[in-house]
Amino acid sequence: MNVYSAVQYLLFVVIVTACVKPLGGYLHRVFARSETALDRLCVPVERWIYRLAGINPSVEMDAGQYLISFIVFTLICTLLLYAILRFQHFLPWFFPEYQTTPLTPGLSFNTAISFSTTTRWQAYAGESTMSYFSQMVGLCTQNFLAGAAGLAVGIAFIRGLARESCSTLGNFWVDLTRSSLWILLPGALIGSLLLVWQGVPMNFHHYVVASTLEGTRQVIPQGPVAALEIIKNLGTNGGGFFNANSAHPFENPTPISNFLELLSIILLPAALTNTFGRMVKNVRQGWLLYWVILLLFIGGLFALHLSERRTNPLFHGADSRSSQFLFEGSMEGKEVRFGIGGTALADVVTSNTATGSTNAADDSFTSLGGLVLLVNLLLGEVIFGGLGTGIFSMIMTAAIAVFLAGLMIGRTPEYLGKQIGPNENKMIVLYALTGPVTILILTAIAISTKVGLAGLTTNAGPHGLTEILFGFASSFANNGQAFASLNANTPFYNITTAIAMMAGRFGVAIPALMFAGLLV
């Protein structure tokens, strides 16, 4: 491992670890409704929102009511986004000469579900499909709302483990509002200014048409990139303004912007482990969760780095030792401004969270490198995971271990001093089976039908199977990254990936919240 990569990895881990306690404490104060530095600005806006929406913040909800509010809110957001996408040609900032990919009903349906479930699965090229209005008002707004909804569910889950002799988990609308005002909006404002400092565009200028040195015509879109870029990371969403996502120089121009974007993805999920410890009054339990997931994270990072650092054996006569220290290894599909270190760190962060904003072509990775990404997706957001969804994924996975241990020793299992009885065990089993059942059934249908195999435009055989499996695993994990040679903009994949995305959003949130409701 070269010095550049080692320093980058070490600095990243140190910064994340140093931020866990203060940021976790801040999140705890926000949702405990304790005093924070932003109260003077946010409290008046919060009260105005409650009056406008007719919300009584003192009324709390049980698990069923909380789930209904979460599902209804997501459904409304999906329908509104679908309407924006279907009618974008009547809305401002639509350039028909450049937005040439039609937003068919199937693609609009898939995209609306994708962005309202924080998946950001993109079966289109943003610069040739989405107008500035669709990007800013439609997709960027969903980045905020869907991310805040996920965080609200995560906090409600923790309350279920923390409270005793109670029947409620909080108020969804209050948690949603506080997630947006106190956390995502300030973070997005600061982060977008940092990205603009690094050269990320933030404007509504017309597309630029340039002539290349070869004399060909090149269309260069600009737009409100910085606003969308930062919230897709903070909200663990991952949708790219451009088709190349974070490999595009407008979305991610420098190694510094790459490092900042990766920090914005992982800081909040990491801090929630500390928030969990504070809320259950067992801080050591929160640190235990953090150190376990950090160990798994580092293991995947080193495996991916070592696999990509080796020169492709098909390139006979290539000697990585003769190259500059930054670029040695398999550089196919990678940006030279990031090198192996910046690429490996980005792909481990994005595949472990629900933010599939990769800065390289996953399909070009080595066999072991692609396997690391696939395993991370199949683990089900256990390593940091999405905003809010990651924390309940970690605890539900721990509850599986508690359940199995109880079976082996023949006694009723307990977690945090609370008994896990038959009903709780049913929720644990339902949570554990939802992912494998969804991914394997959809993959089996895809590889055994003509419409499924038709999506393999470049590769067939074992690699084609991996592409399909990777696509459904990514959709279920609400991640969104993919092996690019799978053509997903077909009626079959628009429907099946949407099913996987909804299962990954609701199929795990429902048993998790019901589990918390039983424990509370």
Other Cβ atoms within 10 Å of 453 Cβ, number: 14
> For residue 398, is pLDDT > 90?
no
Where in the chain are the domains?
A: 3-378
**Model pTM score:** 0.91
How confident is residue 328, by pLDDT bands cut at 50, 70 and 90?
low
What value, to the nearest 5°, has the Cα angle with vertex 390 and ends 10 and 53?
125
Distance CA 383, CA 155 (A): 18
pLDDT in tens, 128-140: 888 888 888 888 8
pLDDT at residue number 326: 44
pLDDT in tens, 30-52: 999 999 999 999 999 999 999 99
pLDDT in tens, 83-130: 999 998 888 878 887 777 788 898 899 999 999 998 878 888 777 888
> For residue 238, is pLDDT > 80?
no
Distance CA 227, CA 211 (A): 28
pLDDT at residue number 317: 53
pLDDT at residue number 325: 45
Determine whether 371 is exposed, middle or buried from the number of CB atoms within 10 Å of its CB (0-12, 13-18, 19+). middle
DSSP-derived letter for residue 413 is -
Distance CA 122, CA 111 (A): 7
Mean pLDDT of 198-207: 85
| 185-197 and 225-234 helices, crossing angle to 10° | 130
pLDDT at residue number 310: 78
Share of the chain above pLDDT 70, in %: 96
pLDDT in tens, 139-148: 888 989 999 9
Mean pLDDT of 495-508: 93
Structure tokens at 255: 């190694």
Backbone angles phi, psi at 486, to 5 degrees: -85, 120
Backbone angles phi, psi at 414, to 5 degrees: -135, 150
How confident is residue 479, by pLDDT bands cut at 50, 70 and 90?
confident
Share of the chain above pLDDT 90, in %: 49
CA nearest neighbour of 489 among 506, 471, 477 = 471
Distance CA 311, CA 379 (A): 28
How confident is residue 503, by pLDDT bands cut at 50, 70 and 90?
very high
CA nearest neighbour of 515 among 435, 427, 440, 454 = 427
pLDDT at residue number 313: 64
DSSP-derived letter for residue 486 is B
Distance CA 226, CA 241 (A): 9
> For residue 280, is pLDDT > 80?
yes
Distance CA 129, CA 348 (A): 29
> For residue 324, is pLDDT > 80?
no
How confident is residue 411, by pLDDT bands cut at 50, 70 and 90?
confident
DSSP codes of every residue in 19-42: HHHHHHHHHHHHHTT---TTHHHH
Residues 307, 248, 236, 33, CA torsion sign: positive
Distance CA 197, CA 486 (A): 35
Task: Write the CA distances from 426 to 409, 422, 431, integer angstroms.
Answer: 19, 6, 9
